[in-house]
Amino acid sequence: MDSDQNVGGRDRLIRAVLAVVLTIVSLRWLRSGKRKRGLLAGIGALGLGFNASTGYCGFNDTLDIDTSADDDDVFAPDADDEPAADESTDVSVDFTSSGDTEASNGHASGKLTCAVCEDPIVPGERRGPNDDGAIVHESCE
């Protein structure tokens, strides 16, 4: 095992509830004579109960999935987490409305225009950022 816990939060709660449900289903199937189904449901209940109580799942460990991080944890980047030299981290978003006197692209109309062809981009038209991060028509990329 690489770590002690790889199951946490909602994942543990869901596994505990499913373990209880599978236990009930297993008991009902065993009482009605459906031994194979009851045995399989019981094995599933034991597995999910183990996951919920210990916080460890072998499948999660094999697939390198870790759900044990709390939502309240604060991310503190290490020195290794710095972006590569060619990776841009600058992001600017301008939420100007049509009532503004001047939009971010310098046009007084306040409407979104293509950075390549300067034509307006109408709602519903396919668009996206180009390599420079400017919004352009899909055909202008």
Q: Which residues of 5-35 are buried (b: 16+ CB within 10 A; e: fewer)?
A: bbbeeebbeebeebbeebbebbeebeeeeee
What are the sequence ranges of the domains in the chain? 10-62, 93-141
| Residue that wins the pLDDT comparison between 113 and 108 | 113
The reported pLDDT for the residue numbered 41 is 96
Q: Give the integer Cα–Cα distance in Å for 141 and 26.
A: 58
- Per-residue pLDDT at 35 exceeds 80: yes
Using CA of residue 6, residue 11, residue 17, residue 22, what is the dihedral sign?
Answer: negative
**Residue 113 phi, psi dihedral angles, 5° rounding:** -125, 155
